[in-house]
Amino acid sequence: MTPSTDASDHERAAIQAFLRGDDDECASRWEAAHRTALAAGHLDEAARYAFWLGFLLLAGGQTARANGWFVRSGSLIAHTVTECRASGYLLIPQSLGALEASDPQRAQALGARAAEIGDRFHDADLRAFGRLCHGQALIAAGEPDAGMAKLDEVMLWAAAGELGAIVTGIAYCAVILECVALFDLKRAAEWTGELSGWCDAQSGLVPFRGQCLVHRSQLQQAEGDWPGAVESALQACARLADPPHPALGLAHYQLGEMRRLRGDLDGAEHSYRDAGRHGCDPVPGVALLELARGDGTAASATILRALAESGLSVSRPALLSAAVEIHRANGDITAAHQASDELSAIAMRSSSELLTAMADQAAGSVQMEYGKVPAALKALRAAATAFRAAHMPYDVARTAVLLGLACAAMGDQSSAGVEFSTAKILFGELAATPDLNRVERLLVGLAADVGRGDPSTTLSARELEVLAHIAAGRTNREIAGRLVVSPHTVARHVEHIYAKLGVANRAAATAYAYEHHLV
């Protein structure tokens, strides 16, 4: 049934108010459209307008009011003989709720049904909304390729201008978020460019610009434009703050990541707290912050809690990568190995080259701990090649540090020096202060060149003490307790011992210590 002209006018005014960020006017206009259609007896259109008012209230965090409008929408069409567009739209919040409740199978079914209704009624927005929900549910169910195929289809409709402005913006932001989570940064960059161009073409547009800036910051971080990443994150925090947008927590988390990587640990803690306050669980960042501050026990507890909660979510690979780093620093090689194996299994099911590189980097670091240095070198070379091809300098530098340690363990001091020096240059260009300080210490240790001197003099007194505890079979945590230092500090001493002695693991360090009468 054709809606009344007055109702259509209110609908257009509601959309314009939304796009310029006038939430009160937007809500007022949707309600006016609903009441006008209701008075004219157009129940299906009145129900659709009620859905939109509810959906935008939900996006603004007003859950109770939103649910009230969803109930009203459903009651209007409850006794209709056939389905209508509104019945399809009402499946969208149900699908999103199922996804939130970790029920991707139900979310898939609801999204697919909504898309089917959209097809039948030739409603491009409903069809796209349904496909979007279906694709997100497939990704959550562990089928990223199938899910992204549906999301790409939605993006083609958006880029071609076939969707309404609200659904276009929602689709862009949702798809880019999934791309970043799946480490498909090439696709994320492509759609972020499209979103930025679309935002610029909408005169006076307020929504979506802030979330676009979050995605831009994430990509700038990966590409090595850290000053730009910080500026974009700051702008995103400002744009999304008033009124608070659902993506505000992610913006604060991204700012926290940049502060942590640059060595502003207090600033990072502040940002992570803001992220949590706005609904974003700040992991793995906060766990890595605890590690950087020397509290390996807290870091381990945080990352294990996050992994226990994450299930099969797209956030799991990032958590596993951090877990490998944290467990290695704590000397818990068994736990590091388990996390690395799970990450490798996920990478094998994915088409993401970056996810494979992350898994290779983690596997290489663990293989060194078991003395499998040739295998470690192979995995680390593969990771370095992939990161370099993706133009990700920070990841290239971190892999170079591991390669340097592996080369030193093989007795190849020259190649170790090349790798450490490469990492030093890249960390310096990025102003990654904590990593830069670490690699500079490794270069100093390497310069001692134990082959030309007495290891009892090239190792510091504290390193000799730590080596004695290693030879006694103690873990990093046990050593930390005896020396009254943090496990993180012990991990750094262990790393320096490996580099100076040219060994790759605790067993080799122990053998070296006994062979050279250091214990």
CA separation for the pair 459, 255 (Å, rounded): 39
Helices (H) and strands (E) counted in the chain, each on its own, are: 29, 0
pLDDT of 515 strictly over 80 = no
The pLDDT, as a whole number, for residue 82 is: 77
Residue 256 has pLDDT above 90, yes or no: yes
Do the Cβ atoms of 470 and 459 come closer than 8 Å? no
| Weakest-pLDDT range from 6-10, 394-398, 502-506, 507-511 | 502-506
337-357: average pLDDT: 93
- CA 378/CA 407 separation, integer angstroms: 12
Contact call for residues 50 and 37 (beta carbons, < 8 A): no
- CA 110 – CA 104 distance, rounded (Å): 10
Between 379 and 479, name the one with better pLDDT.
379
Read off the pLDDT band of 450 (50, 70, 90): very low
CA distances to 107, 126, 135, 153, 503 from 88, rounded to whole Å, are: 14, 7, 17, 19, 63
Compute the distance between CA of residue 417 and CA of residue 443 in angstroms, rounded to an integer: 7
Selection from 475, 128, 512, 143 nearest residue 335 by Cα: 475
Q: Counting every residue, how long is the chain?
A: 519
| pLDDT value at residue 410 | 83
pTM of the model: 0.78
Lowest-pLDDT range, 61-65, 351-355, 378-382? 61-65
pLDDT of residue 384 exceeding 60, the answer is: yes
Residues 91, 416: Cα–Cα separation, whole Å: 58
The reported pLDDT for the residue numbered 124 is: 97
Binning pLDDT at 50, 70 and 90, where does residue 238 land? very high
Residue with tokens 């990352």: 303
Q: What is the pLDDT of residue 210?
A: 74
Burial of 203 (0-12, 13-18, 19+ CB in 10 A): exposed
One-letter identity of residue 25? E
In the chain, pLDDT over 70 holds for what percent of residues? 95
Question: Would the CA dihedral through 316, 319, 324, 328 be positive or negative?
Answer: negative
- The pLDDT of residue 338 is 97
Unique residue bearing structure tokens 């960020």 = 21
Give the pLDDT band (50/70/90) at residue 452: very low
State the average pLDDT for the chain.
Answer: 89
49, pLDDT greater than 90:
yes
Which of 65-69, 442-446, 450-454 has the highest average model confidence (pLDDT)? 65-69
Determine what percent of the chain is predicted with pLDDT higher than 90.
55
Phi-psi region of 456 (alpha: psi -120 to 50; beta: other; left: phi over 0): alpha
User: pLDDT tens across 95-132, in order?
Assistant: 999 998 889 999 999 999 999 999 999 999 999 999 99
66-90: pLDDT as tens digits: 999 999 999 999 877 678 999 999 9
Say whether pLDDT at 4 is over 60.
Answer: no
> Does the pLDDT at position 1 exceed 50?
no
Model pLDDT, residue 3: 47
- Please report which confidence band the pLDDT of residue 204 belongs to, taking 50, 70 and 90 as the band edges: low
Q: Is the pLDDT of residue 167 over 60?
A: yes
